[in-house]
Structure 1
């Protein structure tokens, strides 16, 4: 009789593990800051320009740590910043601790480290020259 309970418990545990692995989708907003940094870093590393929309990124990564937007030459440019590396424990997330994602008309067109993000929207000026 005890063997039946043990086997039943193991089967239920296995079912629970299977369901969690296959159906639970973790949210970056519920992660610790360390886990979220790692999640953001891995996610951003897999992105391919031209194949992702702003809406998809916001759904998968959640609210950005910082964002900027501008309309220029009939195009809408938005830059989102997601924290991907820890620099200093001061309770403030700076651009140097982030990676940026550049969207033109809501399509991902580029990314890079926040510390390399040009001042005064030079990234957009450079993009419009190409």
Structure 2
């Protein structure tokens, strides 16, 4: 009985080590998803972001952005990464109005969303009709 318990505990320990290693090194590949799946994936993970996260960790989580921009400001250079989060038109292209902007300063997540883009970049994300 003690031998069986040792085998079970050893198996659990190996499983725990392997699972931990996979979770620490796994990088999502959202590029392999359909555009519908990618929108859901992006919305889900953007909602879990925290201010101050490093750009590298966001890129590792979400993959490359659909669109990117760089801007100069009095407070420092700003990098904006746009990730597709909502469908607007079936034209085969991702446009800014179909994305959520993530704003970085000094490689740290400063803010995200349309109002944050307007506040930090100084222009509206979408032109008013």
TM value normalised by structure 1: 0.67
Decide whether the 8 Å contact of 1:96 with 1:113 is kept in 2.
no
Structure 2 regions of 5+ residues with no counterpart? 1-14, 124-129
Higher strand fraction: Structure 1 or Structure 2? 1
Decide whether the 8 Å contact of 2:66 with 2:81 is kept in 1.
yes
1:67-120 CA distance string (max 9 Å, x none): 111233362210110000111101121111100100011100100148x84399
Equivalent pairs, count: 101
Return closer, same or farther for 1:25/1:70 CA change in 2, 3 Å cut-off.
Answer: closer
* Corresponding position: 1:39 with 2:41: yes
Distance (Å, rounded) in 1 between the aligned partners of 2:27 and 2:112: 25
RMSD over aligned Cα atoms: 2.7
Distance (Å, rounded) in 2 between the aligned partners of 1:25 and 1:120: 30
Structure 1 regions of 5+ residues with no counterpart? 1-17, 124-130
Return closer, same or farther for 1:39/1:120 CA change in 2, 3 Å cut-off.
Answer: closer
Distance (Å, rounded) in 1 between the aligned partners of 2:96 and 2:76: 24
Aligned pairs for 1:1-130 within 5 A: 23=22, 26-50=28-52, 52-73=53-74, 75-113=76-114, 117-118=117-118, 121-122=121-122
